[in-house]
Structure 1
Amino acid sequence: SAAPCHKTMRLLSLSVCVSSESRGQVTVTQPAAVSSAVGGTVTIPCRTSRNVDVYIGMFHYLSWFQQKDGEPPTLLIYYAKLQAPDTPARFTGSGSNSAFTLTISGVQAEDAAVYYCQSLHEISRQKFPTAVRLEVPLPSTSP
């Protein structure tokens, strides 16, 4: 009789460097790692030690960028929750004050990239970016 065929699917791995980085008087902290199957949902948090500046009382100066290997960064989200014109609908931003999240729903292989959270703080009028690498291994099969 024929031998059974076993298929294995690698999990999507979101690797986040432990980041507790102080720049001026602002500390940005992120988790060590998050994982999800391809097609799942990934949340990338961005937490700052001080509140992010706010424009006209409602728009937080918090942006998310995506940078793929060998390419310049691309703006995904601005004012914490507004999508840039070319941003796919699966990318959404949320949060306020000092806690923000980028959510990727239905993660695709092409989402493998470095993701930057960039915030603006009144104490220095400087932007403080921090980076997260999203790795999406290709599915594999084994006989």
Structure 2
Amino acid sequence: MAWTALLFLLVTYCPGSLSQYTLTQPSSEMAWAPLLLVLLTHCSGSLAQYVLTQPPSVSLSPGQTAQLTCSGDNVASKNVYWYQHKVSSSPLLVMYNSRSRPSGVPDRFSGASSGNTAVLTIIGVQAQDEAVYYCEVWVTASSSHHSDTVRWGSTT
């Protein structure tokens, strides 16, 4: 019965495994071992938590440059996505694969990553850029989501 709980946990946290394997009820406890070995091999690392760190907010005046950071272990080797979420709107993808900008996103938005840090830069911020910006990093079959909030200071 202990094998059943572990198998359920692996199947739950390893997307795609059910489409590749047919699960049948083994006649004994030891019969679970080969299937668990296959799932553990196929899902290596998928149960590990990938941790991202971001500052909670950035306050700027219009015209300044915003740099939002997203830090994680060797994040530069991962696919980093940035989303802009304005109040009463759906999130908008503003950067993908760390540095690629979807069509329609102004060229004042740029992305970069190196080592443990990914950066979304907004040059010459405008009032319409006020939003919550989400950093998303894809790690194998699972993903980690964290967010930065940009808040605007008063102009002086």
Mark the CA change 1:93 to 1:87 in structure 2 (over 3 Å): closer, same or farther.
Answer: same
1:126 alignment partner, one of 125, 137, 142: 142
Gaps of 5+ in 1: 1-22, 55-59
Mark the CA change 1:71 to 1:47 in structure 2 (over 3 Å): closer, same or farther.
Answer: same
Contact 1:53 1:121 in 2 (8 A): no
1:80 paired to 2:98:
yes
Contact 1:80 1:96 in 2 (8 A): no
Contact 1:119 1:129 in 2 (8 A): yes
Q: Which deviations, in whole Å up to 9, do the C-alpha atoms of 1:68-101 show, x marking residues without a partner?
A: 0011110000110011111111110001343100
Count, aligned residues: 110
Q: Distance in 2 between matches of 1:94 and 1:120?
A: 16
Q: Which deviations, in whole Å up to 9, do the C-alpha atoms of 1:36-82 show, x marking residues without a partner?
A: 3210101000001x33485xxxxx41110001001111000011001
Cα shift at 1:30: 1.4
1:25 paired to 2:49:
yes
Q: 4+ residue stretches of structure 1 with deviation over 3 A?
A: 32-35, 137-140
Higher strand proportion: 1
Give the alignment's Cα RMSD to 1 decimal. Answer: 2.3
Greater Rg by CA: 2
2:71 alignment partner, one of 47, 54, 63: 47
Higher helix proportion: 2
Mark the CA change 1:53 to 1:100 in structure 2 (over 3 Å): closer, same or farther.
Answer: closer
What is the correspondence of 1:1-20 to structure 2 with a 5 Å cutoff?
Answer: none
Task: Give the TM-score normalised by structure 1.
Answer: 0.68
Contact 2:56 2:148 in 1 (8 A): no
SS in 1 for 2:128: helix
Cα shift at 1:136: 2.6
How many percent of aligned residue pairs carry the same amino acid?
A: 32
Q: Distance in 2 between matches of 1:82 and 1:68?
A: 21
Contact 2:59 2:153 in 1 (8 A): no
Q: Distance in 2 between matches of 1:138 and 1:36?
A: 8
